[in-house]
Structure 1
Amino acid sequence: MDYIPLSFVSILFFCACSASPPNFILLFADDLGFGDLGCYGHPTSLTPNLDRLAAAGLRFTDFYCTSPVCTPSRASLLTGRYQTRSGVYPGVLYPGSIGGLPLNETTIAEVLKPQGYATAAVGKWHLGVGANGTYLPTRQGFDEYLGIPYSHDMGPCRNLTCFPPDVKCFGLCDVGTVTVPLMKNDAIIQQPVNFLDLEKAYSDFATSFIITSATKKQPFFLYYPSHHTHYPQYAGPEAAGRTLRGPFGDSLFEFDNTIGNLLETLEKTQIINNTLIFFTSDNGPELMRMSRGGNAGLLKCGKGTTYEGGMREPAIAFWPGTIQPGVTHEMASTLDILPTFASLAGAKLPTVMLDGVDMTEILTNQGKSKRETMMFYPTDPSEMYGLFALRMGKYKAHFYTRGATHSGTTPDQDCPVFAVLKAHDPPLLFDLEADPSEHYPLTLFGRPDLQEVVDKIMKEKEKFEATMVFGRSEISKGTDPNLEPCCNPQCSPKPRCCQC
């Protein structure tokens, strides 16, 4: 049958009055570049299920994360607030980090639970473990959790198997720390994790959660931050060797297979028409890994930088019968997911300053975005430097530029770490519609119209920074080796003895 998309007013009526509020599945890839998916133009990526979501849903061309590295990006996604407000900066959390996402921050799960939602997280958390599991998902609004609590390269992987039958992981990963644990809620159930079985465990957990929720007729929120396609790539028997793109392509295909399993489960339980699936990524590709590190497509640089390749992400919204197939060029961000889910569920927003806006109108009738600007902070934001860049409409102004280790090995000399910090006054100005690759800065000489644009951008910058109160840095609290997750905490010598 043909579906008639709901109007904005209908959506609000639906959320307020229906006995069946919508389910939400939030898929978050890791280090995936703007040019890595088949539906975004990659010629050899095998992503049939993501391509299906894009063909039948809404594909974004101008969607942003808030940080070019993963921990702060995840904090913003779950709270709808820039990472500077919550203190989740600079850089990322480690296995023994003392800090984490502060418990007084409100996550999407905590917004939805008062509305009767079941909540589950599966995959890469990376927002802290802390003493006695202080910062784990089950302390942040999630009923259930299965996953690795940080990045899967944050432990020695030299002798671990990443591809069948016994292909060892590429590289050494972090040495001198505990091997990577798999946790169920707040308990370690495997250490080191078995990469060959990991995705199947995630898929089984997620599908079981959907089936249980559907059987109970309970609305649910499933958050799946995948490890794919972060280095070192891995894949089990069903995906290994199946693509033309090598280890990176195989790991992406494995993630795509899980998405296919989720779609099949939604169809079997007959709730697919009442479920919004949203897919995006935490930051741009780690170009220093070359063919194992992802692709930013036509965008400049990648992970670690505030150029477009570091923070503009693929994004897809899929909801049969509600979201019309199409492509939107409206600006949107991971910040906008919390207020959008809250609006659709009829939930109350947190009583704090939010940086996100409701995307419902974009999703339901492809209308105009409420987002007029996007702010770009570096991996190490500070009050002294403030914003590195700001986008307003089609224009982006760079106040500072800098390369990053993560974006090394590229021919573009602006991308590697050797491209040191440069201040720009007046700012470098780009027209992202005409020049998304940020190759050609616009000259202000003889262009009063562009000078007016820069003046407006500077006013927006001043206005925004006046509202920014930097939270105490959680990452600067440091690390304690005793906090590294160990399934046998009394064993010796650590960290080598932490195995189960």
Structure 2
Amino acid sequence: MSSYENKLSRRAFTGAVGVAAAATAAGLGAAPAQAAGTPSGGPSEREFRASRGRPSRRPNILFILGDDLGWADLSAYGSPHIRTPHLDRLARQGVRFTDAYSGSATCSPTRFSLYTGRYPARTRGGLAEPIADKSVGLEPTHPTLASLLQASGYATALIGKWHAGHLPDYSPTKSGWEEFFGNFGGALEYYSKLGLGGEYDLYEGDAEYKDLRYYTRIITERASEYVSRDHHGRPWLLNLNFTTPHWPWTAEGDTEQSAEIVRRIKAGDRRALWHQDGGSVEKYKEMVEDLDRSVGEVLTALKRSGQEEHTVVVFSSDNGGERFSYNWPLSGNKASLQEGGIRVPNIVRWPARLDGGQVSRVPVFSPDWTATLLEVAGARPHPAYPLDGVSLAGYLLRGERPVERDLFWRVRGERALRRGNWKYYRGKSGRDQLFDLAGDIREQADKAAVEPARLAELRAAWEAVDAGLLPYPA
């Protein structure tokens, strides 16, 4: 049994009419002590409860993604100064993962891994870290979570940041999402909707849509409307991709700051949106707390619609934190394969099937959610495009032992692989390092010299995966 297994409590519906029965999840032991930097309160020790009653139905799926939100930026994950009551409540109502990771260390590769369930480097567009021009994107012929669910009867929509290619060749509407409202690029100014190249970047479908209000408010309204809508008996998938708290560091009401950034963009300053001369810890706090309120609005709309019980809600981030993020005790941040660049907050709630108040230390990453959501929705991956993610449904819903496998990452100049609690890492220095994350979450005690056989084994495992991926263009 691996050291990170832990017991979860579930509600399972068998479809048979009968009396309630209780059973213990086989093969799951108690979780180890919490990771450093996380709030107190251990995982649930409740036993698995199998409830016999009406059959379960295919759930709605609401996948919420923050942008550049660090692992410890939520109070549920230990932030000492940012207050996120709505996301904390979501965690209390479901399962909070302490060892969850993004599929890559920057925006668009992680989105490729989530949309496809595969390593970013399986596709040419996923090699861009991140996509910054119109030459590459997610090929419309490639199956996605949305296209596979749509084929099985789901209504599908993406609201917010797409960042997997630009028009005319790439769009959510070409990759399985029936509805799209949001931005194509990696960043935009929150009021003017001007992107990195000075282009206007707010669209409904594939047509420009004019709305100069604060962006987070607009997509929150759109998402609230979508989850409240009558979908005529179809289950639905909504990918809700916030840009908050990505730069520029402007909160709602910061119209003077917005105007200054717009002036610089129009004057030809291609770095204006990076806002390297702006922002602060307090401004970042304001933006994260706004993200929390926005998520709360959408979840309230979902509850009022009467669909909460049968909706799977997943919350995560596309990569680790940026300049003002609270990442302690992790090392590194966005763009790095150190823990601070890829470890992210991750919460799942499904009232019909999962008991709340639980914590899991099982390592998971973005492509796992693609595999998981396909399974719970009754859809299958395309046989010609095998998934790299592993479904968590057996672990979460049926009490099965978590699948033991490697988590793999590759970015230009860095490599990483996690197996159990051991992590192999090579940064831009070119030096191979080995860390035991069970006791060294900060990656400071390099075990390479004292564990040479383990280092060689993990390095060989990384290289075996890498050999099957597309090479970076010269």
State the TM-score bracket (shorter-chain normalisation): 0.7 to 0.9
SS of the residue corresponding to residue 157 of structure 2 reads strand
Report what 1:231 is aligned to: 247
Deviation, 1:197, is: 3.2
Are 1:444 and 2:449 an aligned pair? yes
Which structure 2 segments of 5+ residues have no match? 1-8, 17-49, 255-279
What is the TM-score when the length of structure 2 is the normalising length? 0.79
AA matched with 2:241 = P
Are 1:89 and 2:122 an aligned pair? no
SS of the residue corresponding to residue 435 of structure 2 reads strand
AA matched with 1:188 = E
AA matched with 1:376 = W
SS of the residue corresponding to residue 423 of structure 1 reads coil
SS of the residue corresponding to residue 234 of structure 2 reads coil
Report what 1:491 is aligned to: none
Q: For residues 120-172 of structure 1, give each alpha carbon's deviation from its aligned partner in whole angstroms, at most 9, with x where no partner exists.
A: 11111111113x3x21111111111111111234xxx5xx869xxxxxx9xx9
- 8 Å contact 1:331–1:372 — kept in the other structure? no
Listed as ranges, the matches of 1:49-448 within 5 Å are: 49-87=86-124, 88-94=126-132, 96-130=133-167, 132=168, 134-153=169-188, 174=196, 177-190=197-210, 194=212, 196-213=213-230, 216-236=232-252, 246-287=282-323, 293-324=324-355, 325-351=357-383, 352-364=385-397, 368-378=401-411, 380=412, 388-398=415-425, 400-402=426-428, 422-424=429-431, 427-442=432-447, 444-445=449-450
- 8 Å contact 1:111–1:348 — kept in the other structure? yes
SS of the residue corresponding to residue 35 of structure 1 reads coil
4+ residue runs over 3 A deviation: 7-11, 17-20, 365-368
Deviation, 1:222, is: 0.4
Q: Are residues 122 and 237 of structure 1, via their aligned partners in 2, closer, same or farther at CA, if it must alter by over 3 Å?
A: same
Report what 1:34 is aligned to: 71
- 8 Å contact 2:13–2:56 — kept in the other structure? no
What is the TM-score when the length of structure 1 is the normalising length? 0.75
Which structure 1 segments of 5+ residues have no match? 163-168, 239-243, 288-292, 382-386, 403-421, 477-500
Q: What is the alpha-carbon distance in structure 2 between the residues aligned to residue 470 and residue 431 of structure 1?
A: 30
Q: Are residues 278 and 83 of structure 1, via their aligned partners in 2, closer, same or farther at CA, if it must alter by over 3 Å?
A: same
Deviation, 1:8, is: 9.1
Q: What is the alpha-carbon distance in structure 2 between the residues aligned to residue 251 and residue 18 of structure 1?
A: 42
Among all aligned residue pairs of Structure 1 and Structure 2, give the percentage whose two residues are the same amino acid: 28
Deviation, 1:472, is: 8.1
Q: For residues 433-491 of structure 1, give each alpha carbon's deviation from its aligned partner in whole angstroms, at most 9, with x where no partner exists.
A: 1000001111534xxxx34423432342243234x131786xx9xxxxxxxxxxxxxxx
Q: Are residues 305 and 19 of structure 1, via their aligned partners in 2, closer, same or farther at CA, if it must alter by over 3 Å?
A: closer
- 8 Å contact 2:146–2:237 — kept in the other structure? yes
Q: What is the alpha-carbon distance in structure 2 between the residues aligned to residue 76 and residue 285 of structure 1?
A: 18
AA matched with 2:294 = T
Q: Are residues 371 and 213 of structure 1, via their aligned partners in 2, closer, same or farther at CA, if it must alter by over 3 Å?
A: farther
Q: Are residues 458 and 9 of structure 1, via their aligned partners in 2, closer, same or farther at CA, if it must alter by over 3 Å?
A: farther
Q: For residues 298-339 of structure 1, give each alpha carbon's deviation from its aligned partner in whole angstroms, at most 9, with x where no partner exists.
A: 111101111111111110001114222211110111011111
Q: What is the alpha-carbon distance in structure 2 between the residues aligned to residue 33 and residue 369 of structure 1?
A: 25
Deviation, 1:294, is: 1.3
Q: What is the alpha-carbon distance in structure 2 between the residues aligned to residue 56 and residue 276 of structure 1?
A: 12
Q: For residues 35-76 of structure 1, give each alpha carbon's deviation from its aligned partner in whole angstroms, at most 9, with x where no partner exists.
A: 111100102212111000111111111111122111111101
Deviation, 1:7, is: 4.0
Deviation, 1:5, is: 2.7
SS of the residue corresponding to residue 147 of structure 1 reads strand
